[in-house]
Amino acid sequence: MTDAVKYRREFSRWIILMTLNNSRPLGVSETIVLTVVRAEFPDMSRDELRRELDYLRDRGLATIKQPPDGSAWHCDLTRYGIDIAEYTVDVAPGIARPEKYW
């Protein structure tokens, strides 16, 4: 695995967390999240986004509602995801959260 692949994966997770944090308290459709992530990574696919959303859900940082008809997922942060986004707790490896500078 190259450093570029690792950077893309971990930084896209951070962008997703920030997008979900800014969408609180309503949450947001994966379509909106994908649009935001594509500002940094224009070639991001829906499958790649879903893989990173699934990672965040498995870590207990996000919730995902998956409609049975296969339409767009609806995502939101958990309490722990909010704490990560707001720098109130340490972040484990796997998410490229920038260092707090304030």
What angle separates helix 30-40 from helix 46-58, to the nearest 10 degrees? 110
Q: Report pLDDT digits (tens) over 35-81.
A: 999 999 999 999 999 999 999 999 999 999 999 998 899 999 999 99
Task: List, in order of start, the domains of the chain with CATH numbers.
Answer: 3-85 (1.10.10.10)
| Residue 30 pLDDT exceeds 90 | yes
Q: 101 pLDDT band (50/70/90 cuts)?
A: confident
Distance of CA 50 to the CA centre of its chain: 9
- Strands of 33-88 (E only): list them: 62-65, 74-77
Q: 12 pLDDT band (50/70/90 cuts)?
A: very high
Residues 49, 42, 74, 62: is their CA dihedral positive or negative? positive
Mean pLDDT of 81-97: 95
- Residue 87: which region, alpha, beta or left (left: phi > 0; alpha: psi -120 to 50)? left
Q: Closest by alpha carbon to 47, among 81, 39, 55?
A: 55
